Amino acid sequence: MRDTRLTVKLAALAVAMFAFGFALVPIYDVFCELTGFGGRTASTAAAAIERPVAGRSVRLEFIASVDRRAPFEFRPTVGSMRVQPGRIYETAYYARNLRDSGVVSQAVPSVAPGAAAEYLEKIECFCFTEQAFGPGEGREMGVTFMVDPDLPASIDTLTLSYALFALEK
């Protein structure tokens, strides 16, 4: 009887640990979205309202990286821009599938410095959805964004980086 109770407790503990591990990913995503931790950026419809800050501009740098196993050429179409906080801008990244077969990708954004992540609001972004590429297909993928007017004055340069990964289906 005592062994049976111990077995049941250990099984319940294993199930609880598995459930907790499974729940960590969505919990972490919500935490990062709310706090900007991990370089995640906000993506709200409220960003569509322009409130330009007169006399202020910041430098926004664009970086692209590819997982070493991913079969892509991937780069920003421009290296940097001067942007006025509160104004909506557009840019793009170019990606090309280097395989002779189709592949699906997902881009993961990051913002540096991390404290600025909550102030870069993506309105439209290729990173919101998976991107399917045919054999050898290349295309520009757009990003519409705004730097929040409440960006601290001490931050004058932001870096928006995307890492592109091939998804195994």
Q: Which of 52-61, 140-149, 154-163 has the lowest mean pLDDT?
A: 52-61
Residue 21 clears pLDDT 90, i.e. is over it: no
pTM of the predicted structure, to 2 decimals: 0.70
Q: Is 61 exposed, middle or buried (0-12, 13-18, 19+ CB in 10 A)?
A: middle
Q: What's the rounded Cα separation, in Å, for the pair 60 and 75?
A: 15
Q: Which of 33-47, 53-67, 113-127 has the lowest mean pLDDT?
A: 33-47
- In this structure, the chain runs to a length of 169
CATH code given to domain 41-167 = 2.60.370.10
The larger pLDDT score, comparing residue 118 to residue 30, is at 118
Summarised one tens digit per residue, pLDDT across range 42-85 is 444 444 577 777 889 999 999 999 988 889 999 999 999 999 99
- Mean pLDDT over 136-156 rounds to 94
Q: What is the pLDDT of residue 26?
A: 62
- Mean pLDDT over 95-107 rounds to 94
For residue 156, give the amino acid letter.
D
How open is the CA angle 52-56-59, to the nearest 5 degrees?
Answer: 105
Tokens of 153: 């004055």
Q: Spell out the domain ranges in the chain.
A: 1-35, 41-167
Distance from chain centroid for Cα 69? 19
